[in-house]
């Protein structure tokens, strides 16, 4: 029998598996990794800053300002801040050496970023010498109400973001499983928003929308809320990069928070689209570190497999999950239910203004588990945690594939999506 060896990202390394060629439909990857920029990463960033989209230059914006805030991503996002942040600071101080700069870590609804994680992301020099503040969505004293979202929820944002003379953000653009794409407006909502605001924006009604899917922003109710949040915060300028599987910058977009972001989304869509193949078994991952640190984040990779798998099929996802489940509400709502269908029915009855913590994540996981068998491959997480959340566990990809063959038959058609968070599956 002939086999094809494939590599799947896992933590900071890769897993390998040999798949019978008679079963393999194909290996589907984003063209991001084939895109070869002509200049170095630093030059890509500088070129974007020198040619802003729909906005004055960053140097013009910082002139005559006494203070500013830079929103940046937390430890769960692979934004290459060791490259981007020093360049941003250079451009700013070249134009206004005396401006007071605060760097606000957009944790959204995540846990606080540790000092070690900050150093890993930004480098010791920036952590030691810059003013860095970690947003806490639950700290009411650090928030201010600034309006009502189009969805009807209250918009609470970090006071530092609202009170500064100039607000900018750095981030990266990739497919996002319910906001359409990451980046741009997401730096504000959910990035530096209050708990109540994040919950309203991530309500069950919106998550259930056919437009709240990977690669879609038009008519996406979650995106509409996020745009409003960025506008109310007066997000004046963004620097968003696009990265490949090695986390290297291949393109960058700077300027107006909406116009530059949309240009970046169009670039990512063109490179990331993959045609639906309706496979019996789909093997994927959450892209390795840092996105596969917990089960919560790993739902993202599962949605790509969901879109490529026939209903009733089997999804295999390799994800380290060394940090556990990633959210107590996420875990308990899955583990305490008798089946995924019970979770779905419960969630759809919850009003928008009573959204539960992590509700969106267990709603999407339940949606997937209601129609597919999911086998989570890891040797860094308690198997009991995985099985209690209505998934199956395997220590290796081969073990998972053997389990899938037992369920789907030896003639099952297999699709491999090595990095589930990097592709947009659809009928293009």
**Active-site positions?**
110, 176
- The burial of 335, by beta-carbon neighbours within 10 Å (0-12 exposed, 13-18 middle, 19 or more buried), is given as middle
> Hunting for tokens 């996020």 — which residue is that?
226
> Hunting for tokens 């986390």 — which residue is that?
247
Residues 6 or more apart whose CB falls under 8 angstroms from that of 22 comprise 1, 2
44: left (phi over 0), alpha (psi -120 to 50) or beta: alpha
CA distance to 18, 193, 221, 278, 343, per residue, from 110 (Å): 36, 11, 22, 34, 22
């Amino acid at each position: 029998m002939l086999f094809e060896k494939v590599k799947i990202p896992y933590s900071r390394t890769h897993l390998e598996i040999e798949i019978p060629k008679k079963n393999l439909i194909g290996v589907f990857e984003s063209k991001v990794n084939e895109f070869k920029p002509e200049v170095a990463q630093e030059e890509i960033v500088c070129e974007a800053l020198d040619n802003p989209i729909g906005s004055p230059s960053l140097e013009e914006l910082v002139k005559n300002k006494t203070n500013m805030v830079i929103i940046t991503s937390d430890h769960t996002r692979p934004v290459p801040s060791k490259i981007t942040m020093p360049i941003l600071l250079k451009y700013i101080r070249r134009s206004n050496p005396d401006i007071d700069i605060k760097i606000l870590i957009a944790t959204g609804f995540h846990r606080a970023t540790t000092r070690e994680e900050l150093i890993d992301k930004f480098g010791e020099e920036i952590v030691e010498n810059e003013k860095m503040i970690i947003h806490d969505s639950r700290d009411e004293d650090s928030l201010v109400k600034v309006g009502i979202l189009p969805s009807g929820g209250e918009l609470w944002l970090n006071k530092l973001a609202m009170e500064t003379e100039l607000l900018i953000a750095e981030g990266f653009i990739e497919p996002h499983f319910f906001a359409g794409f990451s980046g741009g407006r997401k730096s504000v909502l959910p990035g530096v928003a209050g708990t109540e605001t994040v919950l309203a924006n991530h309500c069950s009604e919106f998550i259930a929308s056919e437009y709240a899917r990977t690669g879609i922003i038009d008519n996406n109710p979650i995106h509409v809320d996020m745009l409003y949040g960025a506008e109310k915060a007066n997000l004046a300028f963004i620097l968003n990069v696009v990265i490949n599987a090695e986390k290297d910058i291949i393109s960058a977009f700077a300027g107006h928070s909406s116009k530059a972001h949309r240009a970046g989304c169009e670039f990512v869509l063109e490179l990331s689209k993959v045609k639906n193949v309706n496979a019996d078994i789909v093997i994927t991952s959450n892209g390795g570190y840092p996105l596969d640190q917990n089960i919560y984040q790993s739902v993202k990779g599962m949605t790509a497999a969901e879109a490529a798998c026939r209903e009733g099929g089997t999804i295999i996802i390799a994800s380290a999950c060394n940090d556990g489940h990633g959210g107590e509400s996420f875990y308990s709502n899955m583990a305490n239910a008798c089946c995924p269908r019970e979770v779905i029915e419960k969630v759809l009855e919850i009003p928008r203004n009573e959204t539960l913590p992590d509700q969106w994540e267990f709603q999407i996981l339940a949606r997937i588990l209601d129609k597919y068998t999911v086998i989570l491959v890891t040797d860094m997480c308690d198997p009991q945690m995985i099985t209690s959340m209505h998934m199956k566990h395997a220590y290796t990809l081969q073990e998972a594939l053997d389990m899938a063959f037992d369920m789907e038959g030896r003639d099952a058609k297999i699709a491999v999506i090595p990095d589930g968070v990097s592709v947009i599956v659809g009928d293009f």
